[in-house]
Copies of this chain bind each other. A is one copy, B any other.
Amino acid sequence: MTLDRIDKRMLRLLQSNGRLTNAELATQVNVSPATCHRRTQRLFEEGYIQSVRALVAPETVGLGAVVMVGVVLDRSTPESFANFESAVLDLPMILDCHLVAGDFDYLLKIRVADMADFNRFHGEVLITLPEVRQARTFFVMKEVKDGAPLHF
């Protein structure tokens, strides 16, 4: 139910290296492998660790371009939001989608091969999505930081 100092250290270590073996992890946090194993299990079972994922280098799989998009919907009804969100969930090039307060309704992060690819996506998909009034594009020129580990 709660995280003690050892749990937190384990989370921090696994966050930076999800391939740590149980034996290595046990050494780093100064408990026996058996204890470490039980604690790790709990971190998964109780949802402290959502998943472990390999981070694929985007350029190596032809997804070198990032675009951020601010979206404004036509109407601010619950159905508008629901429609838009379900469309977003079906579009794999949309990596992030946040409902925000401010000048936009949503902020999207999109990964595509290149600008031509984005233009196609923009014209044929994005602005034809249900309820989209306006989509303001921010081409990303440099990824200074992306998905930094949580600091706790």
Contacts and interface: CB of A to CB of B under 8 A. Distances in A.
Contacts of A102: 136-139
Contact of A104 (B92, B138, B147): B138
A97 B145 contact: yes
Interface in A111-143: 111, 136-143
A64 to B, nearest CB: 11
Contacts of A38: none
A52 B50 contact: no
Interface of A: 3, 8, 11, 14-19, 47-58, 60-63, 66, 68, 85, 88-89, 92-104, 106-107, 111, 136-152
29 contacts: A3-B60, A3-B61, A11-B61, A16-B51, A18-B53, A47-B60, A49-B55, A51-B54, A51-B55, A52-B55, A53-B149, A62-B152, A63-B151, A68-B100, A93-B151, A95-B148, A96-B143, A96-B147, A97-B143, A97-B144, A98-B143, A99-B142, A100-B138, A101-B138, A102-B136, A102-B138, A107-B107, A107-B138, A147-B147
